[in-house]
Amino acid sequence: MTAHRRWLIGSAIAAVAIYVLMWIGYASQWNWLVDLDTATLDVLHRYGETRPGWVTAWHVFCTVLGPMAFRLAALVVIVVALTRRNLRLALFLVLSVELSGLLIEIAKRASDRPRPATALVFAPSSSFPSGHALGVMVGVLALLTVVWRFLRAPLRGWLIAVGAVIVIAIGLGRVVLNVHHLSDVIAGWALGYAHFVACVLMLQPSAPVTEADETPATPGSAR
């Protein structure tokens, strides 16, 4: 096992541990977690309830750059990958990005945490984990993985920075809008990362496509 693979597995285990910690913490009403969630929501609610423009701006931002935007972008890449017979890459994006919505619904139904009563905009379903945090985390990481080997070093750094800003801003934006507790967002980031790593380890999407991936096994036949 390579050092990189060991690091991925270790970081994914740590992410799952954080997710479980957040779940147990809110379910058990740990004082420190309740205080953290309440304090952040109260401050941001007081600021937002008298500033409708601020709330609208964050709502638009979280909608435009929400999980659906990344699922649509991934769908385009999937179509291109299929036309080039790169089935491994297409399957990676289907499992990681497109099916992240199913993971979100399963996680939300399992926890069934109510939304904060101070929500400044409407949001359906339950609160834990944050679907925006999870979906955007997976979308950003998956799309970066797809384009990584085609980029030069300076551009890689810029895209990592932009991706990190988007992931953090979307997650915090859901707390700004009071539709999620901070612990929901942390849990969403953690579960999204673990899901992404699992898909990478299973499918190795960054590996180059070989001739065997693209051509039939024998002339005139298809696999």
- Which residues are CB-contacts of 179 (< 8 A; sequence separation ≥ 6)? 115, 116, 119, 120, 121, 123, 127
Dump pLDDT digits (tens) for 151-183: 888 899 999 999 999 999 999 999 999 999 999
Place of tokens 């990481």: 141
Both structure tokens of 165:
């800003």
Dump pLDDT digits (tens) for 65-112: 999 999 999 999 999 999 999 999 999 999 999 999 999 999 999 999
Four-residue CA torsion sign, 87, 89, 95, 101: negative
- Report which of 179, 185, 177 is spatially closest to residue 56, judged by C-alpha positions: 177
